[in-house]
Each structure stands twice: as C-alpha cells, then as structure tokens.
Amino acid sequence: MKSLPHRICLIEDDELMGESLSDRFGLEGFEHDWHRTGAAAMAALRSQSYALVVSDIRLPDITGDVLFEQLLAVGQRLPPFIFITGHGEIDSAVSLLKKGARDYITKPFDLDALIDKISNIVSPMMDAGLHGLGQSPAMRQIQTMLKRLAKSTASVLITGESGVGKECVARALHDLTGQDKPFIAVNCGSLTESLLEAELFGYEKGAFTGAVRTKKGVFEQADGGTLFLDEIGDTPPAMQVKLLRALQERSVVRVGGETLIPVTIRLISATHQTLQERVASGSFREDLYYRINVVELRIPPLRERPEDILPLAHTLLAEMAAVSGKTSPGFTAAAEHALKAYPWPGNIRELKNSLERASLMCDGHLISHDILFERPAPVLASQQDLAGSLRDYLGECERDFIVRALVASQWQIQLCADSLGISRKNLWERMRRLGIDKESAHHS
C-alpha cells in the first residue's frame, strides 16, 4: 500500500461543498485528494494510506457509514475519520464514533471549526521532525526552539522528569537537521564505567579479554550526525574527564589504541537530575556542564500540559495499531476525561504502558475508563434519582482525582498540592470534606 502520511482523503459528492473544502484545504497547506463517490474513495483507501479522511455520510452510491464498516470488515487499518452529517443523521454519526471514527461535524458548520479539528490531527504530522511532540503552548515553544537550533550545531541539554519524552525531542531535532545522517543513542546510566568507555570510544582488537575484533564507539558511529547521551548525570567522575576531552578536542582514542580519530557530531544530552546541584556538590564537573549545556530545553511533565494527553494517546494507539495491523480504537467520554484528569507520574512512559494494556483488553472500538485504569468510572444516578445527583457525581470525580494525585505524590501533601495547583490548606480542606485519608483510600 502506498503511504501518503500527510495527505487528506476528501469524500464529498456535492460540487459546491467539495470545491469550498478543496479550496480551503489548499489555502491551509493540506495536501488532499477529492473523491465524489464512495466507490472511488474505497479504491483509493485500499491502495493508499492517508493521514485523515473527511467524508460526507450521504453519498450517491453508498453511505459514508457503509463505506467505513466495509473497510473495518476487511480488517484494514484505517486513518482517523471525520464525518460530515446532517441533523437527521446524527444518530448514524454517533454510532460511527462508537465503532472507531474520530469525530463528526453537523451541517451547516463553521469551516474554521472543521479546519481546527483537522489541524489537531494532521498538523503534528506535517512537520516530520516535530511529529508527536504535542500542541500545548509549552510544547509549541519547544518546537519553535528546535527549528532555531536546527540551524546551528550547538550542544543541547534536555531536562525533565523520567518518561517525558526527552529522546523523542532529541530525535525531532535530529530529523530537522538531516534524517539521512546517523542518530546514535546511549544511556550513560545503564553501563558500568569500563563498559561505558568502550561504548563511547570503541576499542581495538585485543584491548581486553573478549575484544576479538576492533569496534567503533558511538562517537565514531555518530560521525556527521547526532550523538544522544541519555542520563548524562549518571556518568562516573573519571569518565566525565574523558568525555570532556573528547568534546574539546573533537576526537577520540579507542580503548587499547593510540591514534586520535577526529569526529564531527551534534551532541544532545539528557538528564532527569538537576545538574546545577550536582555541580555544586562536586559530583559533576562544571566545565563539562557548560560544554554540554549551550542551550537547555526543559520538557514539562504531562500534568503541566494536559491538552497534549489525548493527542499523544491517539498517536500512541495509532503506532500500536500499525504494528499489530489492527484498527486504532478510540475512547469513551469517561476515559477521555480520566486521561486528562490523571496526573501521570510516569509521564509518557506510563501512558504508553496503560494504553498497551488497554488495547489488549479492549474487544471493541472504544477503550473504556475501567479498562484503561482497571477501575470502574463514577456513574450518574438512575433517571428516577436525578435530583442532587450532579453534586454527588462531581464530588466522586473530585475525590477520585485527588486520591490519584495523592498516590502519585506518595501522600506528600505539599507535593500533591503543588501538582494540583492549590494550596496545602485548600488540599487539607478538600480531603476533610470528601473524607479522604490514606487508610480509607487504600480500601476504596
């Protein structure tokens, strides 16, 4: 199947509407193919892989929902679908959402609103180097910085909590500077000092027991491209000296060798630690710190950018579906609310783990709250008992949210209050009002 990763498939039989949408897509910079019939669209979707489908439900030969269901029936992995529907077809559109469609918009609609929906899906894909980083203000600022940095070879230090996607940002910067060049990554905290030296600088045949052949280190492997040193804060002191020398001289000497080997690299380092504190304590060299930290990029945790969570979740599910060959599922409304409300202490790594488990447990087209978190979502009271139920429902949601935040912060009240954006006193008052304590929460 031919891949058109940034292209939209437009399915619209009405000439006036089709021309209007096609013209606007062109103005917005969206590459697209316009199909007037379901049959033509079906043929295109079976032979090409699009980034997004925008389809009218009412078509001259088959309906949009039949088209969607037929594609599902053959087990084809589908791109996100946005359906255009009339007022009398809303039930069909809602049914399609339950089967896995991404969204729908009702005629007559604001064209800007449709463009916003499309942009939320397609725009992150349109810049290959920035795909999947998020569209929150904080991440847009990161993207702006990456575009500036792409024009230089300055060393970059990426900081942030574990699991926020520091390597993803490093790869994005590399992609902006040349995808045809090597990107070599090594975790400095996962190797002993001797293994790290051999990994960084390589070794000559016979340099030590087991060195049966000459091996290039990551500096040589990354020559002309990018070297990413993850968890550089864990580098042993003796290795910091050798690393600094290699960066200053722009050359390396293999273990067991004597020849200086020149290398040209862009260095990107990352750490979850506060290196200034390690410099102050003497456990990290100040001269190395300034060598690796010409520009620092701090990646905020997910709890500080909740607007990125749903797009990231959809992107991760789509990547998993691409590997498994299945259709990417969607989320129930309760699951979407929970995704955005949960503080995600493990950040993107935890989110991915939860989605992998949920996608395995999900036997339909939508992931529910209880599958996602292995816990039932709060449910509204029955129809005959609606009086006063909204307060109870919101109270239960608030209690559940605060308990999750307390667990994530290991019941450290000040840390939890900071993560929730409220004062310590406010948090205590809410805990008393909602009857939250550590013992009862463990049994809820």
Report the 10 Å Cβ neighbour count for 438: 11
72 vs 41, residue with greater confidence: 41
- Identify whether 180 is part of a domain: yes
388 with 362, same domain: the answer is: no
End position of a domain, from candidates 258, 281, 298: 298
pTM, entire model: 0.59
Q: How many CA atoms lie within 13 A of 369 on its CB side?
A: 17
Closest Cα partner for 102 from 311, 387, 296?
311
Q: Supply the DSSP symbol for 61.
A: S
Query: How far does Cα 420 stand from its chain's mean position?
Result: 22
pLDDT tens sequence across 373-389: 865 544 444 444 444 45
Q: How far apart are alpha carbons 409 and 406 in whole angstroms? A: 5
Q: How many CB atoms lie within 10 A of CB 57?
A: 23
Residue-wise pLDDT for 97-117, tens only, equals 888 888 888 888 888 888 888
Please report, to the nearest 10 degrees, the dihedral formed by the alpha carbons of residues 430, 435, 440, 444 taken in order: -90
Residue 80 CB neighbour total at 10 angstroms: 22
Which whole number is the average pLDDT over 59-63? Answer: 90
- Residue 232 within a domain: yes
Shared domain for 411 and 345, answered yes or no, is no
Whether the predicted pLDDT of 126 surpasses 50: no
Question: Do 46 and 106 have their domain in common?
Answer: yes
DSSP code of residue 275: H
Q: Are residues 136 and 111 in the same domain?
A: no
What are the phi and psi torsion angles at 262 (to 5°)?
A: -70, 140
Angle at CA of residue 187, ends 185 and 193, nearest 5°: 125
Q: How many domains does the chain have?
A: 4
pLDDT at 439: 67
318 against 12, higher pLDDT: 12
Identify the CA nearest to 327 among candidates 45, 57, 43: 45
Same domain, 287 and 168: yes
* Nearest CA among 308, 317, 412 for reference residue 357: 317
**Are residues 176 and 314 located together in one domain of the fold?**
no
State the DSSP string of 187-222: ETTSS-HHHHHHHHHEE-TTSSTT--S-EE-HHHHT
Residue 120 in this model has a pLDDT that exceeds 80? no
Residue 330 lies in a domain: yes
The answer to whether position 290 is within a domain reads yes
Q: Residue 174 belongs to a domain with what CATH number?
A: 3.40.50.300
Euclidean distance between CA atoms 16 and 6, whole angstroms: 25
236 and 139 within one domain: yes
Do 396 and 438 lie in a common domain? Answer: yes
CA distances for 143 relative to 17, 156, 165, angstroms: 35, 14, 13
Pairing of strands 202-203, 215-216: antiparallel
Same domain for 15 and 157?
Answer: no
How many other C-beta atoms are found inside a 10 Å radius of the C-beta of residue 61? 14
- Residue 128 pLDDT exceeds 50: no
Checking if the pLDDT of 431 tops 90, the result is: no
Amino acid 360: pLDDT:
86
Mean pLDDT for the stretch of residues 147-175: 91
Q: Considering 298, 317, 344, which residue would you say is the last residue of a domain?
A: 298
Average of pLDDT values for 326-348? 86
Give first-to-last CA distance, the chain, whole Å: 49
Element spanning 23, H or E: helix 15-28
Q: What is the CATH number of the domain that holds 26?
A: 3.40.50.2300
Residue 349: which domain range?
303-373
Give the ranges where 230-332 is alpha helix by DSSP (H).
237-249, 275-281, 286-292, 309-324
Say yes or no to pLDDT of 149 above 60: yes
- Single residue among 298, 316, 348 that ends a domain in this structure: 298
Q: Are residues 141 and 284 in the same domain?
A: yes
* Residues 201, 270 share a domain: yes
Of the candidates 299, 2, 305, the residue with the CA atom closest to the CA atom of residue 172 = 299
Q: What is the CA radius of gyration of the chain?
A: 26
Residue 3 reports pLDDT greater than 50: no
**Which CATH number fits the domain that encloses residue 430?**
1.10.10
Asked whether residue 92 falls in the same domain as residue 19, the answer is yes
Q: Which residues contact 131 (CB under 8 A, 6 or more apart)?
A: 124, 125, 172, 315
Residue 165 falls inside a structural domain: yes
86 is a domain residue? yes
What are 103's two structure tokens?
Answer: 């969204």
Evaluate whether residue 378 is within a structural domain.
Answer: no
In sequence order, what are the residues at sequence separation of 6 or more whose Cβ sits closer than 8 angstroms to the Cβ of residue 185?
A: 167, 170, 228, 230
The dihedral region occupied by 294, where left means phi > 0, alpha psi between -120 and 50, and beta the remainder, is alpha
Question: Mind listing the pLDDT tens digit for each residue in 264-304?
Answer: 999 999 999 999 999 999 999 999 999 999 999 999 999 99
The CATH number that applies at residue 364 is 1.10.8.60
Q: Is residue 362 part of a domain?
A: yes
